[in-house]
């Protein structure tokens, strides 16, 4: 009986899915908020549920803060160790950019428990980052820089036997920020194919999230270590309540933006999971008192978070103003909600769609999902994707069908007039100097001939035009044999049939495109809070802020 009720609820939820035309607009994706399906939340739920244990088997750091440490995470079947190298970095060498050659700390996540020989090998390579090599025994490679001012403040206070100023902590939100966390085979690390079958690594970016969570512990340990080195017996440890207010920062440039375009199946699965979660909640005929209470708590936290969220960037300041005003409205609505209205969650959602800005609406997506763990958490298992397996072309498709598909799935693209200069004002390229993705001005800058294939809308138009005068019954395979330049788009077109949320439905080379919208979307799925653009192409965020430490989990399970 219960199963049947659930099935009915799921069927009903399917009709409540927001359509891709609404969801996949850049402006809306650029308002994404972390949810309980975000990857760091998925990790934290698993380690709690499975009773993972954590310790620090090695700490060899001198009074200057130079040395090495190992943080061990033991799961039910396997262990993983973060190997950390702490460095003494002169200020003039500190850069968040990919061109940097030295960092305050460097890390690798080791698959299992490293031997002394492994540690020696890693010591010769990990501090070099991109200029070193790791092996299939490592899952990630990363580095972090101090937030100089806050780090110094905390060391100074702790050394003097005092706690740091809470307002100072909140104004930055982290002691160190990572500037890259490489996984998936990069620089010799283990290929994802070889580890994706492990349940703990099946959801996206779990090795990266574990890395960052353990780096957070390192940032607390190193700051306390330096305070003790300076203050001796007077030094105190960081108050656990203050610790919890600190996450790990992350500084990210434009390179992250193309990821979503290059991984359409992954993007589809992320969005589909979130949208399915929202639809399941909206399909609930009633709201239990527990869920209502949890929703109010989540809203309260969201209001606090929005109040503490700082940015100096105009675009973000406007969005923050929208968000705060919208959260105030929702708070007001709750005075008379749920009342006796049927489908109360859906009623709330409908009202949000009618009255709130995109910021408020997308924040509400996250809030509605939050109290419904048992209903939605299994969706995390659907968020991974094997890009290769789905990428094979069906060459037997007729051009007639290809055209119909294009006119259906890419109508939004075919409506764009690419003879208008503003519709292709920009171009994406890779810089010869740093080999990093950048976006340029087509008229003002050279190099448009070397454009990267991120101009999906224009490629769809070109493909559409190319098949227009071809025989209707010609197969796609025969066409591509003559016109291989359309192969890339043909593959995407076929893939979108089974992946409705795969494509960002906006012109990514338009004059007014904002790459940070793509970054915000991706980072929200990671679980990033406090999205803080430094420009329209460069952002800082915080991960794990407000979340427990490994030690907190031990206490939870012990209490």
Q: Please, which of residues 300-359 interact with other proteins by CB under 8 A? A: none
Which residues, including other chains, have CB under 8 Å from residue 408's CB and lie 6 or more apart? none
Q: Is 97 in the site for other proteins (CB under 8 A)?
A: yes
SS3 144: strand
Q: Is 263 in the site for other proteins (CB under 8 A)?
A: no
Single residue of 117, 131, 241, 354 touching other proteins by CB under 8 A:
131
Query: In the complex, what is the shortest distance from the CB of residue 550 to other proteins, in angstroms, rounded to a whole number?
Result: 28
Q: Is 171 in the site for other proteins (CB under 8 A)?
A: no
Contact yes or no for 486/462 (Cβ under 8 A): yes
Q: Is 438 in the site for other proteins (CB under 8 A)?
A: yes
Single residue of 21, 66, 307, 477 touching other proteins by CB under 8 A:
477
Closer CB to other proteins, residue 128 or residue 553? 128
Distance CA 361, CA 323 (A): 9
Single residue of 485, 498, 555, 556 touching other proteins by CB under 8 A:
485
Nearest CA to 380 among 25, 32, 40? 40
Query: In the complex, what is the shortest distance from the CB of residue 421 to other proteins, in angstroms, rounded to a whole number?
Result: 18
User: In degrees to the nearest 10, what's the CA dihedral of 99, 102, 103, 108?
Assistant: 90
Pairing assessment for the beta strands 105-111 and 138-146 based on DSSP bridges: antiparallel
Which range binds other proteins by CB under 8 A, 15-23, 76-84, 215-223, 472-480? 472-480
Contact yes or no for 165/157 (Cβ under 8 A): yes
Q: Is 470 in the site for other proteins (CB under 8 A)?
A: no
Which range binds other proteins by CB under 8 A, 283-291, 296-304, 318-326, 389-397? 389-397
Q: Is 466 in the site for other proteins (CB under 8 A)?
A: no
Single residue of 16, 56, 102, 185 touching other proteins by CB under 8 A:
185
Query: In the complex, what is the shortest distance from the CB of residue 478 to other proteins, in angstroms, rounded to a whole number?
Result: 8
**Burial bucket for residue 155 (CB in 10 Å: 0-12, 13-18, 19+):** buried
Q: Which residues pair with 83 in a beta bridge?
A: 70, 108
Contact yes or no for 207/140 (Cβ under 8 A): yes
User: In which element (H, E) is residue 324 found?
Assistant: helix 314-333
Nearest CA to 451 among 438, 462, 461? 438
If binding means CB under 8 A, how many residues of this protein chain bind other proteins? 78
Q: Is 233 in the site for other proteins (CB under 8 A)?
A: no
Q: Site residues for other proteins, window 188-217 (CB under 8 A)?
A: 188-193
Bond from prior residue into 338 cis (ω within 30 degrees of 0)? yes
Q: Site residues for other proteins, window 410-429 (CB under 8 A)?
A: 429
Q: Is 373 in the site for other proteins (CB under 8 A)?
A: no
Query: In the complex, what is the shortest distance from the CB of residue 507 to other proteins, in angstroms, rounded to a whole number?
Result: 18
Q: Is 253 in the site for other proteins (CB under 8 A)?
A: yes
Phi, psi of 136 (to 5 degrees): -65, -5
């Amino acid at each position: 009986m219960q199963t049947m009720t659930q099935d009915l609820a799921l069927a009903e939820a399917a009709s409540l899915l927001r359509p891709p035309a609404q969801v996949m607009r850049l402006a809306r994706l650029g308002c994404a908020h972390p949810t309980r399906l975000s990857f760091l939340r998925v990790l934290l739920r698993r380690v709690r549920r499975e009773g993972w244990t954590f310790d620090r088997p090695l700490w060899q750091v001198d009074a200057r803060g130079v040395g090495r440490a190992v943080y061990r995470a033991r799961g039910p079947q396997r262990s993983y160790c973060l190997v950390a190298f702490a460095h003494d970095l002169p200020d003039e060498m500190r850069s968040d950019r990919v061109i940097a050659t030295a960092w305050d700390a460097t890390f690798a996540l080791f698959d299992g428990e490293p031997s002394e020989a492994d540690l020696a090998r890693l010591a010769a390579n990990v501090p070099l980052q991109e200029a070193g090599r790791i092996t299939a025994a490592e899952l990630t490679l990363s580095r972090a820089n101090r937030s100089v001012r806050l780090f110094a403040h905390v060391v100074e206070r702790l050394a003097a036997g005092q706690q740091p100023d809470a307002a100072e902590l909140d104004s930055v939100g982290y002691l160190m920020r990572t500037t890259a966390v490489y996984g998936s085979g990069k620089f010799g690390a283990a290929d994802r194919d070889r580890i994706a079958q492990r349940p703990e690594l099946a959801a996206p970016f779990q090795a990266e999230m574990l890395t960052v969570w353990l780096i957070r512990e390192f940032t607390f340990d190193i700051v306390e270590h330096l305070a003790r080195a300076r203050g001796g017996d007077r030094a105190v440890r960081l108050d656990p309540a203050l610790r919890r207010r600190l996450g790990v920062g992350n500084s990210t440039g434009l390179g992250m933006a193309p990821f979503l375009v290059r991984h359409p199946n992954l993007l589809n699965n992320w969005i589909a999971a979130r949208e399915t979660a929202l639809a399941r909640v909206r399909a609930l005929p009633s709201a239990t008192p527990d869920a209502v209470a949890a929703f109010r708590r989540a809203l309260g936290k969201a209001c606090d978070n929005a109040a503490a969220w700082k940015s100096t960037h105009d675009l973000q300041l406007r969005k923050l103003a929208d968000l705060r005003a919208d959260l105030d409205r929702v708070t007001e609505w709750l005075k008379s909600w749920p009342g006796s209205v049927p489908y109360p969650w859906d009623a709330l959602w409908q009202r949000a769609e009618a009255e709130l800005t995109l910021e408020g609406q997308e924040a509400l997506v996250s809030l509605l999902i939050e109290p419904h763990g048992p209903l939605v958490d299994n969706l995390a298992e659907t968020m991974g994707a094997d890009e290769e397996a789905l990428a094979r072309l069906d060459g037997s498709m007729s051009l007639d069908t290809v055209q119909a598909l294009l006119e259906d799935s890419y109508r939004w693209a075919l409506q764009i007039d690419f003879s208008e200069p503003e519709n292709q004002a920009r171009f994406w390229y890779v810089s010869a100097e740093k080999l990093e993705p950048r976006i340029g001005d087509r008229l003002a800058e050279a190099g448009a001939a070397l454009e990267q294939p991120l101009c999906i809308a224009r490629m769809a138009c070109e493909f559409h035009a190319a098949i227009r005068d071809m025989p209707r019954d010609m197969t796609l395979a025969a066409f591509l044999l003559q016109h291989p330049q359309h192969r890339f788009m043909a593959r995407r077109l076929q893939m979108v049939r089974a992946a409705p949320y795969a494509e960002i439905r906006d012109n990514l080379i338009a004059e007014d495109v904002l790459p940070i919208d793509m970054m915000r979307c991706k980072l929200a799925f990671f679980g990033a809070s406090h999205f803080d653009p430094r420009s329209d192409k460069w952002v800082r965020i915080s991960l794990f802020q407000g979340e427990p430490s490994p030690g907190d989990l031990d206490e939870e399970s012990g209490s």
